[in-house]
Amino acid sequence: MMYGVLFIVILLAYLLLIQNKKNQARYARQYIEDETAPLSAKQKQLIRDSWQRVLPVKEKAAELFYGRLFELDPGVKPLFKGKLDFQGDKLMMTLNVVVNSLDDLDAVEAMLQAMGKRHVIYGVEATHYETVGAALLWVLQQTLGEYFTEEVEDAWVTAYGVIATTMKEAAYSA
């Protein structure tokens, strides 16, 4: 009996792992395909509205983000020095600045480029951006619940594509 329960638990854990890998690949593929797509006015509003729902729980969202990031790619954990709550504050502050600049992304382009260049110094590789995107979308899904519709997801995928592309181009261009 006990072995049967153990087998079922292991099987469920394996199935969840496979599902997580599929979702990570789907999210990464989505943002790469849409990385240069401009944000529509409706997408900007969906991002703003959804972000307002995240802000009250931003500390928890940041905690979930890093937990998910390290789950998806344990190899990135050594890249983080210091306290994660401080890193989480910086992440949320940066996202807030970007969300508040959606109507003029050129205003934050220099900031994103500088961040991209700094991340190279920390050891961030271009492939890490896919994992970060998957972790971010997962956190939004967890935080927003039923409000995380396909339209909201598409808007965030497009926005993250713009952010990641700007950072990577600055970091890895010759």
Instruction: Report all structural domains of the chain as residue ranges with CATH numbers, in order of start.
Output: 2-172 (1.10.490.10)
Per-residue pLDDT of the chain (174 residues; tens, 9 = 90+): 655 544 564 645 555 555 665 555 555 544 444 445 589 999 999 999 999 999 999 999 999 999 999 999 999 999 998 888 899 999 999 999 999 999 999 999 999 999 999 999 999 999 999 999 999 999 999 999 999 999 999 999 999 999 999 999 999 985
What is the model's pLDDT at position 9?
47
Ordered alpha helix ranges (H), the chain:
2-33, 41-54, 58-72, 84-100, 106-122, 128-144, 150-172
What is the model's pLDDT at position 34?
45
Q: State the Cα–Cα distance between residues 172 and 174, nearest whole angstrom.
A: 6
Do 125 and 146 touch, CB atoms closer than 8 A?
no
